[in-house]
Chain A
């Protein structure tokens, strides 16, 4: 738990730290759009891995829910950036999120059965917590465009819902 917690804290620091490191105190809308989209895509990747490896009915159902929800939200996000004529811009936060997710996937790829299920679901709890904090503390307050802000606020509710859902699945695995 301590390891997980510190990993989550480190991730939050990276997220917020990266935003500050860019010189500007806050990320721009094109960067925010990129971060939010990336966060969704990474969770879809994680879910696809779970659908391939896990044999647990509940874990697979959870993973399918993640693919369905994040696909729907990212579709909406793409429609919004198109409408706003904003080109999502890659940035340090997106890159560090991707790097961490890649490392996690490689780590999980070595596991199977119960060990995989537990590691996947625990990481989903931690990951959603990290994204929730980033949305609340940095991304939502920094967003300039009202529609982008509103989509992020919906995104926060979805991520918070997923976090609770993941916590429920984690408690069932114990």
Chain B
């Protein structure tokens, strides 16, 4: 391995670390059967966190089938978003609850 290659590898490694360090957590609150805010934007690698303030269990279920997160009463559940795109989701137990995660690359 030439010094140049080592340097490149170091840059690449450092780059990876700094990207992961930048991953953010985006919070959605569930209060009285409403996702607030109804729409959030996240980057690939970010975490979406649902904070359930209700006495009821809820889910955040992607309409495209990509993910299904169960959020127990008074609990918090998380999901790392992996694919870019607009994902509409709903609560399987109360399908009148709807939200959207916009995932940017």
Which of A65, A73, A161, A165 lies in contact with B55, CB distance below 8 A?
Answer: A73
Chain A, residue nearest B33 (CB): A157
Main secondary structure of the interface of A (DSSP, over half): helix
Which of B56, B73, B96 lies in contact with A164, CB distance below 8 A?
Answer: B96
Q: How large is the interface on A (under 10, 10 to 19, 20 to 34, 35 or more residues)?
A: 10 to 19
- In the bound assembly, the distance between CA atoms of A154 and B57 in angstroms comes to 14
Q: Judge whether A168 is part of the interface by a CB distance below 8 angstroms.
A: yes
Within B61-102, which residues are at the interface with A (CB < 8 Å)?
73, 91-97
- In the bound assembly, the distance between CA atoms of A165 and B93 in angstroms comes to 6
Interfacial chain A residues near B93, Cβ < 8 Å: 65, 69, 161, 165
Q: Judge whether A160 is part of the interface by a CB distance below 8 angstroms.
A: yes
- In the bound assembly, the distance between CA atoms of A161 and B95 in angstroms comes to 5
- In the bound assembly, the distance between CA atoms of A72 and B56 in angstroms comes to 7
Q: Judge whether B41 is part of the interface by a CB distance below 8 angstroms.
A: no
Which of B32, B55, B73, B94 lies in contact with A162, CB distance below 8 A?
Answer: B94
Per-residue 0/1 for B35-70: is the Cβ within 8 Å of any A Cβ (1 yes, 0 no)?
Answer: 000000000000000000001110000000000000
Closest Cβ–Cβ distance, residue B14 to chain A (whole Å): 48
Q: Judge whether A68 is part of the interface by a CB distance below 8 angstroms.
A: yes
Per-residue 0/1 for A159-171: is the Cβ within 8 Å of any B Cβ (1 yes, 0 no)?
Answer: 0111011001000
The answer on a CB contact under 8 Å between A72 and B32 is no
- In the bound assembly, the distance between CA atoms of A158 and B73 in angstroms comes to 14
The answer on a CB contact under 8 Å between A165 and B95 is yes
Chain A, residue nearest B94 (CB): A161
Q: Given A68-B57, A72-B73, answer yes or no on A158-B33 (Cβ-Cβ < 8 Å).
A: yes
- In the bound assembly, the distance between CA atoms of A153 and B80 in angstroms comes to 34
Interfacial chain A residues near B57, Cβ < 8 Å: 68-69
- In the bound assembly, the distance between CA atoms of A76 and B56 in angstroms comes to 11
Q: List 20 A-B contacts (CB under 8 A).
A: A65-B93, A68-B56, A72-B73, A73-B56, A75-B55, A76-B55, A157-B94, A158-B33, A158-B56, A160-B94, A160-B96, A161-B33, A161-B91, A161-B94, A161-B96, A161-B97, A164-B94, A164-B95, A164-B96, A165-B92
Residues of A whose CB lies within 8 Å of any CB of B are 65, 68-69, 72-73, 75-76, 154, 157-158, 160-162, 164-165, 168
Closest CB pairs A-B (n = 6):
A161-B94, A164-B95, A157-B33, A161-B96, A72-B55, A65-B93
